[in-house]
């Protein structure tokens, strides 16, 4: 988890569905969902449409159920729409499409889904959950998650590899939070003490996200220094070559 995977024909951060399903489960569900993906293609449905519907379902599950404390059912709804991440990629492969736009759309809507999930936690703890500390922790989880993703994207945009596997990347943040939320929701069915799993999970995600952010910033700083040192060395070598060429030209003229 946390490693780049192929999404819509391009390397991308793991989507919500890929984060929640291990490689063996993905292989099974890919086989199961292939006929459904083919059916959607025949009906003229595009992979982008499936991506949009899946994100809308995740947002609805998070912002309708979580703010009122219905963590079990909210997680069930989110999990159902997780499969759209597998369907749209399956459709793209069947269509033979490798789209930069598709990869961009996936990554952008992933941020929307993340914001909705942690936004749901924020609304609960600011309202019926009545816990300002956990509300603040949830806000930190939301903000740090966005910044962690931004650091990698920004580092790569300036030509750096950002070669680091952070302690808690997007896949880990989502799996920890959603599994904990779903289990915490069992408290409504009479399971005692299990509601404390979500607060513990949020603290773990918050601390892990902070560590990951520091790891990425340190990595970008190191890679930037190495790139600049290599460039300075190349410039020095080029300057020396120019001087030697000029010297040889003067000797030839005499």
Residue 233 CB: number of other CB atoms within 10 A?
10
pTM for this one? 0.81
Label residues 187-223 b or e (16+ Cβ within 10 Å = b).
beeeeeebbebbbebbebbbbbbbebbebbeebbeeb
**Tokens found for residue 236:** 């020095």
Average pLDDT along the chain: 86
Q: For residue 239, give the 3-state DSSP assignment.
A: helix
How confident is the model over 139-191, as pLDDT tens digits?
Answer: 999 999 999 999 999 999 999 999 988 899 888 899 999 999 999 999 999 99
Residue 141 has a pLDDT of: 97
The alpha carbons of the chain give a radius of gyration, in whole angstroms, of: 24
How confident is the model over 60-92, as pLDDT tens digits?
Answer: 999 999 999 999 999 999 999 987 878 888 898
C-alpha torsion sign, points 60, 177, 110, 32: negative
130 is catalytic: no
Which one of 85, 110, 130, 232 is the catalytic residue? 110
Percentage of the chain surpassing pLDDT 70? 81
Residue 165 has a pLDDT of: 81
How confident is the model over 41-50, as pLDDT tens digits?
Answer: 999 999 999 9
Residue 15 has a pLDDT of: 61
């Amino acid at each position: 988890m946390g490693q780049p995977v192929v999404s819509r024909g391009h390397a991308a951060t793991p989507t919500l569905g890929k984060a929640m399903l291990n490689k063996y489960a993905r292989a099974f569900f890919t086989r199961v969902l292939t006929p459904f993906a083919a059916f959607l293609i025949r009906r003229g449905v595009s992979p982008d449409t499936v991506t949009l519907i899946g994100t809308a379902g995740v947002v609805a599950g998070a912002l309708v159920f979580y703010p009122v404390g219905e963590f079990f059912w909210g997680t069930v709804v989110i999990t159902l729409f997780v499969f759209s991440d597998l369907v749209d990629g399956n459709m793209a492969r069947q269509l033979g499409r490798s789209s930069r736009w598709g990869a961009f759309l996936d990554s952008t809507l992933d941020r929307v889904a993340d914001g909705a999930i942690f936004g749901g936690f924020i609304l609960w703890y600011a309202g019926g959950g009545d816990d300002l500390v956990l509300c603040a922790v949830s806000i930190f989880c939301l903000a740090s998650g966005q910044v962690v993703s931004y650091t990698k994207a920004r580092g790569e945009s300036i030509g750096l590899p950002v070669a680091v596997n952070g302690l808690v990347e997007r896949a880990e943040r989502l799996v920890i939070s959603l599994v904990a939320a779903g289990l915490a929701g069992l408290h409504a069915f009479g399971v005692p003490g299990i509601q404390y799993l979500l607060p513990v999970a949020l603290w773990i995600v918050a601390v892990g996200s902070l560590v990951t952010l520091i790891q990425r910033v340190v990595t970008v700083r190191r890679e930037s220094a190495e790139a600049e040192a290599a460039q300075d060395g190349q410039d020095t070598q080029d300057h020396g070559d120019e001087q030697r060429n000029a010297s040889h030209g003067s000797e030839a003229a005499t």
